[in-house]
Amino acid sequence: MGAWQSYRLRLKRRRFLIRCIRKRRELRPVTNRTKRIKPGDILLFSTQRNEAVRLPYFLKYYRDMGVNHFLIVDNDSTDGSVDYLAEQSDVSLWTTPRSYKRSRFGVDWLNWLQMRYAHGHWSLVVDPDEFFVYPFCDTRPLRALTDWLDASSIKSLSAMLLDMYPKGRIDAQPYKAGQDPLEIANWFDSGNYTIQKNNFFGNLWIQGGPRSRVFFKDMPERAPALNKVPLVKWDRRYAYVSSTHMLLPRGLNQVYDEWGGEKASGALLHTKFLDTFTVKAMEELKRKQHYAASVEYQAYATHLKQDPDLWCKWSEKYINWRQLEILGLMSKGNWA
């Protein structure tokens, strides 16, 4: 990387940081319990909008994993999720009625909260429909992973987004609050992902899965990115660039090995495709607050009207992380 490119990236990062500092005014604290954060705590950052039905299981899943504090930005919810979150003793909540799109899909808001509260902490950024799995997650808590990453001088961990879907119509089985969404959406595509390298930011650009196969089969270049780096030992000078797909400084995107070896990585089980999705897709289509003029949601809407079934004969049923590791979707690296 030449000095010029390095300078450009630095400028870019500075711009993102200034932008997120400016955007902090959009956030209004509902309950700020960040005083309870102790040194070394693992923090989770999330944005949410009308996810009341998902939140109970979401919080339980990550509490059991070992997350110590949740910092959540609510974007103008109307379904009571604000009240629910405000009651939780390990949640700090901010709310904003402002545009999701103009905060670069929540990234500015979270960058600010991370800058303010996550300095020196391990920080996990996930959406309420994303469930993080990592090697040995059934026997070792998240702290075992972060301690190991610390000991190995690794600052960021990759966890690819894995779209989960039910067998049959997406809206066939209703999801109840508190239920494990993986009981319904427990199928995934195991081997149809494409990878390209982004030489500017140094990250891999992964696409594929059921969304490419069904919704974007005519325009695969516009299929959503699946590469994510959700777990980072945060420093106040870091900034996410676009969602959690990549961040700056670009060394943090170097979560893959280029000399034949495998680095350790996890997966984010993405349980977007539940019965709640059809309604949500329609709403988001109207709000037009999503990436690239919500092209994703336009594609969903047209397909879902006809045939809302993502399952195919070669879909794989989810068992555990070891299955994902054998399939080559994630890796233990040299953690044993």
Partner 1 sequence: MSVGIVMLVHTALGRAEQVARHWHAAGCPVVIHVDASVPVKTHDAFASALSDLPDVTFCRRYRCEWGTWGIVAATQDASQLMLSRFPEVTHVYLASGSCLPLRPVQELIDYLKARPRTDFIESATTADVPWTVGGLDHERFTLRFPFSWRKHRYLFDKYVEFQRKVGFKRRIPEGIVPHMGSQWWCLTRRTLSAILQDPRRPVYDRYFKRVWIPDECYFQTLARKYAINIESRSLTLSKFDFQGKPHIFYDDHLQLLRRSDCFVARKIWAHADRLYQAFLTDSEGAMSRTEPNPGKIDRIFSKAVERRTRGRPGLYMQSRFPNEGWENGKTAGQYSVFQGFAELFENFEPWLTRATGTRVHGHLFAPERAEFADRQTVVSGALSDSPVLRDYNPKSFLGNLIWNTRGERQCFSLGPRDNQAINWDIAKDPNAQISVISGAWAVPLFQSNRDFADIRKEAALLQKIESDFLDVLHSPYVKARIRIWTMAEFIESPMEPLQTIIDEITQKSARRLSEAPHMADLSGFGQFLQNLKNQGMHPHLMGDFPVTQDTTPRDGRPPKPYLVR
Q: Does 110 bind partner 1 (CB under 8 A)?
A: no
The residues with which 157 forms a beta bridge, in sequence order, are 231
Half-sphere exposure of 43 (CA within 13 A, CB side): 30
Among 72, 204, 231, 239, binds partner 1 (CB under 8 A): 204
Q: Does the CA dihedral 319-324-326-327 come out positive or negative?
A: positive
> According to the binding rule CB under 8 A, does residue 217 interact with partner 1?
yes
Q: Which of 68, 156, 190, 276 binds partner 1 (CB under 8 A)?
A: 190
Q: How would you list the strands of the sheet with 91-96, edge to edge? A: 28-31, 91-96, 69-75, 42-48, 122-125, 231-233, 156-163, 265-270, 130-133
146 to 165: interface string for partner 1, x by CB under 8 A: -xx--xx-----xxx-----
Residue 167 touches partner 1, criterion: CB under 8 A: no
How many residues line the site for partner 1 (CB under 8 A)? 58
Q: Considering only residues 3, 78, 218, 305, which one is a binding residue for partner 1 as defined by CB under 8 A?
A: 218
Q: Is 329 in the site for partner 1 (CB under 8 A)?
A: yes
Binding partner 1 (rule: CB under 8 A), the pick from 33, 88, 90, 141 is 141
**Distance between CA atoms of residues 306 and 304, nearest Å:** 5
Query: What does DSSP assign to residue 165?
Result: B
Binding of residue 313 to partner 1 (CB under 8 A): yes
Q: Rule CB under 8 A: is residue 193 a binding residue for partner 1?
A: yes
CB of 147 to partner 1, least distance (A): 7
140 forms part of the interface with partner 1 (CB under 8 A) = yes
Name the one range near partner 1 by CB under 8 A: 20-28, 74-82, 107-115, 249-257. Answer: 249-257
251 is a contact residue toward partner 1 (CB under 8 A): no
Task: Kindly write down the DSSP assignment for every residue of 56-92, as one continuous string.
Answer: HHHHHHHHHHT--EEEEEEES--SSHHHHHHH-TTEE
Residue with tokens 């092209």: 295
Minimum distance from CB of 51 to partner 1 (Å)?
26
Exactly one of 5, 32, 192, 302 binds partner 1 (CB under 8 A); that residue is 192
Site membership for partner 1, residue 263 (CB under 8 A): yes
Cβ–Cβ < 8 Å for 311, 214: no
- Residues 302 and 281 sit within 8 Å (Cβ to Cβ): no
333: left (phi over 0), alpha (psi -120 to 50) or beta: left
Residues that bind partner 1 (CB under 8 A): 136, 139-141, 143-144, 147-148, 151-152, 158-160, 189-197, 204, 206, 210, 212-213, 217-221, 227, 255-265, 312-316, 328-336
